[in-house]
C-alpha cells in the first residue's frame, strides 16, 4: 500500500529533478531548467516559487547579452538553506569540514590523533565535541545541519552508519547514527573512503573524457590498501562498491596482517609490510599500528640506490597488488585502474612487481593488461565524493521530500 498519493510522489519527483539540474549545472534560468529536466514551463514555475518561498532557492539578475532587453533571471541554491559536515578518519588525523548548501567549504579543522590506542567512548566523545565546536565557529544550528558524512577505511555495515572494522579502531565497532543522535538530528552516513574516491574519479573522468566511463577501479596505497569500483552499465543505475581488497588473501598462511589474518594483500603492500620486508623482520611479527611516511621514504631512497632488500620490499608489494588486480578483472572484466593515496610516490618501485603479478593471469596474457593511471590528490577526491553524495541526498531525501503541509519559512 502506497504511503503517499500519486500526486505527492510526482510533485516530489519533479522537485528533485529541478534541484538535481541546479546541482549539476549551476545557476540556471527558468527556460534552462525546463529544457534540462523536460518539465513544462508551468511546472518549473510552480516548483521554483515553492522553493523560493521555503528559502531553499534564490534568484539573481544578470544583464542580457549586448546590454539590451530585460535582465536575465537565474535560480541558485540559497547558501544558508542547509549545511553538511564531513568527518574523515585516517590513520593519524581526524579532518572535519563544513559546507553550505551551495557546496562551498566554509570551515575546516584538522586534529592529529594518537596511535597509542583509544577506547571507543573517548573516541566518539572527542568527535562529538569537535563537531560541535566546528558548527559553533560558523554559527550553524542543528536546524540547518541536515547531514553528517563520515569516511574511513575498513568495513562498513549494510546499515550505512556502523563501522565494523577499521585500521584505526580495529574490531571496536561504532554506530555513528547513534553517536550523533543526542546532539544532531542530521542524516548520518558512513562510507568507505575508497568508495568515495572511486565515485568522484568516475564523475570527474566522465566529464572530462569522451562520455561516461563503463567501469573504473580506484586503488589506494598507503598504511592500508583500499579499493572502490564503479560499474556504469549502459541503461542501468551507476553502482559503486568498496570490496575488501586489502584483506583478500594473497598467500595462504602468509605474512601477518593488521586484521589478524595471514597472507592478506595488505600484509605485503601496506606501509608496515614494506618496512617489515625491507629490514628482514619475520613476516609473523605483529604489524606496527602506524608507520610515518618519512620512514617509507627512507626505504625508497635506499631502493633507488640499489639496496637489494629495499628493492625487494617494493617489488613484493607490487606483485601482491598485481595479483589482486588480475583477480579483480577476472571476476568483473577489464576496467581502468587508477592508483591513488600517498603510496603512489613509490609507484615506480612497485610497477615491476605489479606487471609481474598481472602477467601471472591467463586473462591478462590473452587480453592485455588493464589501463593504469595515477591520481595524486586522494584527499581532495574523498572530499568531492562526500560533497556529491551528501548534497544530492539532501536535495533528494530532505528538500524534495518536504510535503506541502510542511511548507513555511526555514
pLDDT average per 10 residues of sequence, the chain (410 residues): 68 94 92 93 94 94 65 91 96 93 96 74 92 95 95 93 90 94 94 95 84 90 95 85 94 95 97 96 90 95 97 98 96 94 97 96 91 94 96 94 53
Position 127 in a domain: yes
Task: Give the end of a domain, one of 165, 185, 205.
Answer: 185
Q: Please give the distance of CA 131 from its chain centroid, rounded to a whole number.
A: 19
Looking at the domain assignment, is residue 391 inside a domain?
no
Whether the CA torsion 188, 191, 195, 200 is positive or negative: it is positive
Domain end (from 185, 215, 239): 185
3-class secondary structure, 73: strand
Instruction: Please check whether residues 141 and 120 belong to one and the same domain.
Output: yes
Whether 71 and 88 share a structural domain: no
Residue 341 three-state SS: coil
Whether 247 and 136 share a structural domain: no
Neighbours of 220 (CB within 10 A): 29
Q: What is the dihedral of CA 108, 113, 118, 124, to 10 degrees?
A: 0
What is the Cα 78 distance to its own chain's centre?
Answer: 25
Residue span of the structural domain in which 111 resides: 81-185
Same domain, 204 and 300: yes
Predicted pLDDT of residue 1 = 39
Q: What is the pLDDT of residue 72?
A: 81
Same domain, 206 and 355: yes
Last residue of a domain, one of 58, 78, 98: 78
Do 223 and 159 fall into the same domain? no
If phi over 0 gives left and psi between -120 and 50 gives alpha, with beta otherwise, what is residue 4? beta
- Bridge partners for 65 per DSSP: none
Q: Judge whether 317 and 281 are in contact, CB under 8 Å.
A: no
**Side-by-side strand order, sheet with 162-165:** 155-156, 162-165, 174-175
Nearest to 381 by CA among 203, 246, 240: 203
- Give the chain's largest Cα–Cα span: 78
- Taking the CA atoms of 113, 116, 120 and 125 in sequence, report the sign of the dihedral they define: negative
User: What is residue 69's predicted lDDT score, i.e. its pLDDT?
Assistant: 62
Q: Is residue 409 part of a domain?
A: no
Cell numbers 579499493 label which residue? 227
pTM comes to 0.89
Measured CA to CA, the distance from residue 185 to residue 15 in angstroms comes to 23
**How many C-beta atoms lie closer than 10 Å to residue 118's C-beta?**
15
User: How buried is 318 (Cβ within 10 angstroms: 0-12 exposed, 13-18 middle, 19+ buried)?
Assistant: buried
Predicted pLDDT of residue 408:
43
Amino acid at each position: 500500500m502506497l504511503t503517499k498519493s500519486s500526486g505527492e510522489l510526482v510533485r516530489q519527483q519533479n522537485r528533485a529533478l529541478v534541484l538535481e539540474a541546479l546541482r549539476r549545472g549551476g545557476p540556471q534560468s527558468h527556460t534552462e531548467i525546463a529544457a534540462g529536466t523536460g518539465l513544462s514551463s508551468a511546472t518549473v514555475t510552480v516548483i521554483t516559487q515553492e522553493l523560493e518561498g521555503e528559502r531553499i532557492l534564490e534568484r539573481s539578475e544578470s544583464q542580457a547579452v549586448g546590454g539590451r532587453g530585460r535582465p536575465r533571471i537565474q535560480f541558485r541554491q540559497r547558501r544558508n538553506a542547509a549545511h553538511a559536515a564531513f568527518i574523515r578518519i585516517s590513520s593519524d588525523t581526524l579532518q572535519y569540514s563544513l559546507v553550505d548548501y551551495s557546496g562551498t567549504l566554509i570551515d575546516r579543522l584538522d586534529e592529529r590523533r594518537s596511535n597509542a590506542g583509544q577506547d571507543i567512548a573517548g573516541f566518539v566523545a572527542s568527535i562529538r565535541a569537535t563537531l560541535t565546536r566546528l558548527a559553533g565557529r560558523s554559527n550553524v544550528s542543528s536546524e540547518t545541519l541536515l547531514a553528517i558524512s563520515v569516511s574511513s577505511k575498513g568495513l562498513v555495515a549494510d546499515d550505512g552508519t556502523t563501522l565494523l572494522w577499521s585500521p584505526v579502531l580495529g574490531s571496536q565497532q561504532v554506530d555513528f547514527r547513534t553517536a550523533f543522535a543526542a546532539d544532531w538530528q542530521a542524516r548520518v552516513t558512513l562510507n568507505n573512503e575508497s568508495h568515495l574516491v572511486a565515485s568522484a574519479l568516475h564523475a570527474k573522468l566522465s566529464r572530462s573524457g569522451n562520455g561516461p566511463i563503463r567501469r573504473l577501479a580506484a586503488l589506494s596505497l598507503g598504511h592500508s590498501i583500499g579499493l572502490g569500483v564503479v560499474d556504469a552499465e549502459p541503461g542501468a543505475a551507476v553502482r559503486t562498491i568498496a570490496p575488501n581488497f586489502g584483506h583478500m588473501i594473497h598467500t595462504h598462511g602468509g605474512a601477518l596482517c593488521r586484521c589478524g589474518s595471514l597472507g592478506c594483500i595488505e600484509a605485503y603492500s601496506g606501509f608496515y609490510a614494506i618496512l617489515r620486508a625491507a629490514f628482514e623482520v619475520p613476516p609473523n611479527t605483529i604489524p606496527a599500528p602506524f608507520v610515518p611516511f618519512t620512514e617509507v621514504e627512507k626505504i625508497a631512497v635506499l631502493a633507488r640506490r640499489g639496496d637489494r632488500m629495499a628493492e625487494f620490499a617494493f617489488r613484493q608489494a607490487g606483485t601482491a597488488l598485481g595479483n589482486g588486480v588480475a583477480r579483480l578483472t577476472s571476476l568483473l572484466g577489464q576496467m581502468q585502474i587508477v592508483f591513488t593515496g600517498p603510496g603512489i610516490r613509490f609507484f615506480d618501485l612497485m610497477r615491476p612487481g605489479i606487471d609481474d603479478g598481472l602477467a601471472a593471469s591467463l586473462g591478462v596474457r590473452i587480453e592485455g593488461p588493464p589501463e593504469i593511471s595515477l591520481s595524486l590528490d586522494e584527499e581532495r577526491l574523498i572530499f568531492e565524493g562526500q560533497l556529491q553524495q551528501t548534497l544530492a541526498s539532501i536535495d533528494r531525501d530532505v528538500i524534495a521530500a518536504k510535503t506541502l503541509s510542511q511548507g513555511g519559512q526555514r
